[in-house]
Amino acid sequence: MGILDTLGEVAGAVAAVEGAEKLDPNAGLLTKGLAAVAGFKGAGALESMVGKKEEGEEEANDAAPQA
């Protein structure tokens, strides 16, 4: 799943750069670079948070008694 995680992070970076360009059409290279880094890191954090939530739900389902 490593390649899928990386693709998700790259998509987050691209979306952040596009958002920065929409907010400021004259955005400089530094602004676009910072947006890309923020989008990359944000997407990675979001994916890890979702993964932890799914693991927690699986553990809760395993611990719950079956009726």
Domain residue spans of the chain:
2-61
CA-CA distance, 51 to 61, in Å (whole number)? Answer: 15
Average pLDDT of the chain to the nearest whole number: 85
Share of the chain above pLDDT 90, in %: 43
| Average pLDDT for 32-42 | 92
Nearest CA among 15, 13, 59 for reference residue 40: 13
Give 62 or 56, the one with higher predicted confidence: 56
SS3 40: helix
